[in-house]
């Protein structure tokens, strides 16, 4: 059974730092791309960051670029999100999510896409003084 | 960046009703769209991917359709456990946007 378990959420003051972890089990973690997605209270999910299976390709949402760093340790089956210069707007439940990639064949070629098939239970980050 | 607009934002329906939720993309995205169900305090749960493919163990009363810019999620006969919030999501590179959600409540 695929399991993703986030940890590390806490109450932190504005300008502070925090490191989130996501422990993966039930699948070969090193074969899968991973993401962080967050959800502010009463709002919809917001994609935060992506990392390829070997960690060579990384993307960030503009809202966190320069402040958050995604990383992974395939030997430990773990995904991380280092967050610094935290703001009140970063208050949210943070989820890790696994990607299942697939291709769509269209007339003009192939579209590389995928879907987030498994999510953790989330960890709450509250930024407040 | 591509944006997704869901409608309606709120929907009130009864057990046994047929419900349709729509998601419109700001530009053509082929069939690269997923639908999620989320209940309070829980993570989103994948229902549909590739616009119309049912994820494993998802009941057949859920179906999806559409291509390009207009997509729909249909629940053919609402069950009590279906009252939740539904989100669409596009994934073809990053950033990966989500719709703003449709909250489905019991009438």
Minimal-distance CA residue of chain B relative to A47: B96
How deeply is A56 buried, as exposed, middle or buried, from its count of CB atoms within 10 A (0-12, 13-18, 19+)? Answer: exposed
B96 and A44 within 8 Å at the Cβ level: the answer is: no
| Residues of chain A contacting B93 with CB distance shorter than 8 Å | 112
* pLDDT digit string, tens, across residues A107-123: 888 888 889 999 999 99
Q: Which residues from chain A sit within 8 angstroms of residue B55, using beta carbons?
A: 117
> Residue B31 is nearest to which of A104, A116, A117, comparing CB atoms?
A104
Tokens standing for residue B25: 């993309």
> What one-character DSSP code corresponds to residue B55?
P
With an 8 Å Cβ cutoff, the interface of chain B facing chain A consists of: 30-32, 34, 36, 42-46, 49-50, 55, 87, 89, 91-101
Tens digits of pLDDT across chain B (107 residues): 899 999 999 999 999 999 999 999 999 999 999 999 999 999 999 999 999 999 999 999 999 999 999 999 999 999 999 999 999 999 888 899 999 999 999 88
Q: CB–CB of B88/B102 below 8 Å?
A: no
Give the residue-averaged pLDDT of A27-50: 97
Contact A117, B55 (CB under 8 A): yes
> CB contact, 8 Å: A35 with chain B?
yes
Phi, psi of A30 (to 5 degrees): -65, -10
What is the b/e burial string over B11-34, where b = at least 16 CB atoms within 10 angstroms of the residue's CB?
bebeeeeebebbbbbeeebbbbbb
Q: Which residues of A touch B96 (CB under 8 A)?
A: 35, 47, 50
The percent of residues above 70 in pLDDT, for chain A, comes to 100
Distance from CA of A97 to the nearest CA of B (A): 10
Give dist(CA B49, CA B64) in Å, integer.
Answer: 8
**Rounded average pLDDT over A41-61:** 96
- Under 8 Å CB pairs connecting chains A and B tally to 65
Residues 6+ apart with CB under 8 A from B22: B6, B7, B70, B71, B72, B73
Q: Is residue A78 within 8 Å of residue A72, measured between CB atoms?
A: yes
CA distance, residue B81 to nearest chain A CA (Å): 19
Among A residues 73-112, those touching chain B with beta carbons less than 8 Å apart? 95, 99-100, 102, 104, 106, 111-112
């Amino acid at each position: 059974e695929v399991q993703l378990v986030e940890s590390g959420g806490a109450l932190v003051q504005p300008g502070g730092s925090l490191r989130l972890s996501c422990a993966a089990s039930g699948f070969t973690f090193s074969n899968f791309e991973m993401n962080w997605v967050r959800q502010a209270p009463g709002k919809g999910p917001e994609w935060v960051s992506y990392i390829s299976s070997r960690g060579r390709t990384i993307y960030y949402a503009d809202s966190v670029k320069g402040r958050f760093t995604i990383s992974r340790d395939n030997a430990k089956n773990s995904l991380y999100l280092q967050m610094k210069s935290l703001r009140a707007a970063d208050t949210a439940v943070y989820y890790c999510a696994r990607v299942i990639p697939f291709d769509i064949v269209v007339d003009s070629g192939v579209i590389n896409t995928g879907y987030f098939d498994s999510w953790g239970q989330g960890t709450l980050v509250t930024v407040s003084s | 960046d591509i944006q997704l607009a869901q409608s309606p934002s709120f929907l009130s329906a009864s057990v046994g009703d047929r419900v349709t939720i729509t998601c419109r993309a700001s530009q053509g995205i082929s069939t690269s769209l997923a639908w999620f169900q989320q209940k309070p305090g829980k993570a989103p749960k994948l229902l549909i991917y590739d616009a119309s493919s049912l994820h494993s163990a998802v009941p057949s009363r859920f179906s999806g359709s559409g291509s390009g810019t207009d997509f729909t999620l249909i629940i053919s006969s609402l069950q009590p456990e279906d009252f939740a919030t539904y989100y669409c999501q596009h994934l073809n590179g990053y950033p990966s946007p989500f719709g703003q959600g449709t909250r489905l409540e019991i009438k």
